[in-house]
Amino acid sequence: MNKFSLEGKVALVTGASYGIGFAIASAFAAAGAKIAFNDRTQEAVDRGLASYKEAGIEAHGYVADVTDEDAVAQLVKDIERDLGTIDILVNNAGIIKRIPMLEMSAKDFRQVIDVDLNGPFIVSKAVLPGMIKKGHGKIINICSMMSELGRETVSAYAAAKGGLKMLTRNICSEYGEANIQCNAIGPGYIATPQTAPLRERQPDGSRHPFDAFIVAKTPAARWGTPEDLQGPAVFLASDASDFVNGLVLYVDGGILAYIGKQPQ
Ligand code: NAP
Ligand code: GCO
Ligand code: CA
């Protein structure tokens, strides 16, 4: 029996119209899962549905903001009606605001915490009862290098992703006995729309300094791609990880292990 199969499982990946969520949902589909995803607007959902269709994947898209408890309750109800109880949840939806702390308003700070930390709490809380009733469940939170490291201008994001690491461990602690496995993936620097500002060419055509910096900090000497996350995500969503719980699996090309290349 293939322990990595997701055959017959129902997976919800939040914020998965594109980017990392889309790549993870696509890998789950290839492993046999039925795919549900949400986004904040019908326009984003429709764009996502078109992308899944183009990839030959039958996905079910729903409009729901992960910070809105009523919308999330309705999302879970609609998925259970259309596909059945959710077996796998990936809390992927997230935002970042890159603002020096002294210039960041409390409103901006709260908005990042709301999406990146309160959102995973709200969606996990809505999905857990069905998983517990069914006798099994997999929750995968998308953490970050910023679950371990800080850097200038990302105070809210680092606080949220550090909190998400501990929420992961707490869900593991509280519901492990119900055969729920709650783990996290901590991607390194991945080439998606979220990091596009860190990679764009300078006016003189040279590389963005941050681009060169990250490549020097990564033993793999490259940015990650959303596809680099697919294998780890299928592992944590499958029976192959039934005794893995509370883990943050860093998929970073070795960044956290490396002091960084000496400047030439
Ligand atoms: P992205 O390209 O910005 O995509 C984020 C997705 O989340 C979009 O589909 C976005 O929809 C959706 N979203 C945002 N706020 C939402 C809300 N309130 N409710 C529902 N959906 C919402 O980001 P990404 O690079 O794919 O990253 C995905 C996750 O990985 C995030 O949690 C991010 O923090 C994390 N991560 C990214 C990297 C990286 O290097 N890229 C590394 C580590 C961790 P809209 O289009 O409507 O905004
Ligand atoms: C940044 C980047 C990072 C990545 C990711 C790294 O501004 O430093 O956006 O935060 O998104 O979280 O793991
Ligand atoms: Ca199992």
What is the ipTM metric for this complex? 0.98
> CA 61 to CA 48: how far, in whole Å?
8
- Give the closest residue (by CA) to ligand 2 atom 9: 195
Residue 33 one-letter amino acid: A
pLDDT band at 263 (very low <50, low <70, confident <90, very high): confident
Q: Does 258 score more than 90 pLDDT?
A: yes
Q: How confident is the model over 109-137, as a mean pLDDT?
A: 99
- 189 counts as catalytic: no
Q: How confident is the model over 81-90, as a mean pLDDT?
A: 98
Let me know if residue 217 belongs to a domain: no
Let me know if residue 197 belongs to a domain: no
Let me know if residue 198 belongs to a domain: no
Let me know if residue 127 belongs to a domain: yes
Q: Which of 141, 189, 249, 256, when mutated, tests ligand 2's pocket best, judged by the most ligand atoms within 8 Å of its CB? A: 189
The alpha carbon of 63 is separated from its chain's Cα centroid by a whole number of angstroms, namely 18
Let me know if residue 262 belongs to a domain: no
Let me know if residue 200 belongs to a domain: no
> Would you say the CB of residue 187 lies under 6 angstroms from ligand 2?
yes
pLDDT tens by residue, 206-248? 999 999 999 999 999 999 999 999 999 999 999 999 999 999 9
Parent domain of 21: 10-191+223-253
Let me know if residue 4 belongs to a domain: no
The alpha carbon of 92 is separated from its chain's Cα centroid by a whole number of angstroms, namely 3
Of 62, 157, 175, 250, the catalytic one is: 157
Let me know if residue 204 belongs to a domain: no
> CA 241 to CA 221: how far, in whole Å?
29
pLDDT band at 74 (very low <50, low <70, confident <90, very high): very high
Answering whether pTM is above 0.95, one says yes
CATH assignment of the domain containing 61:
3.40.50.720
**C-alpha dihedral over 101, 107, 113, 115, to 10 degrees?**
-130
> CA 136 to CA 107: how far, in whole Å?
38
> Would you say the CB of residue 96 lies under 6 angstroms from ligand 2?
yes
**Could you give the number of structural domains in the chain?**
1
Quote the percentage of the chain above a pLDDT of 90: 98
> CA 70 to CA 101: how far, in whole Å?
32
Q: How confident is the model over 115-123, as a mean pLDDT?
A: 99
